[in-house]
Amino acid sequence: MLIDGQPPVAAHGIDIDEKSEGTVTEQRLYQLIRQPYPIVDRQFEIEFLDSDVQVFAFTFG
């Protein structure tokens, strides 16, 4: 998980750490990013190391 090409540090959600590492353990919503104020447009990148992981939805807001 990268934000603007960098690890999320303080913007990481509860399911990843500040180095952008996390583990998918079950089918559920995962909080990857929690952007602090000010909220601005960002580019994010997600890389899954396991080919069995599937993404169904992203929510913003």
**Model confidence over 3-52: pLDDT tens digits?**
899 988 888 888 988 888 888 888 888 888 888 888 888 888 888 888 88
In 3D space, the residue among 40, 46, 36 whose CA is nearest the CA of residue 7 turns out to be 46
What is the predicted pLDDT for the residue at 5?
92
Q: Measure the CA–CA gap between 11 and 55, rounded to whole angstroms.
A: 21
> What range defines the domain where residue 26 resides?
1-61
Residue in this structure with the two tokens 């500040």, named with its chain if needed: 18
As a whole number of Å, the CA-based R_g of the chain is 12
pTM of the model as a whole: 0.72
Is residue 20 within 8 A of residue 8, CB to CB? The reply is yes
**What is the total count of domains within the chain?**
1
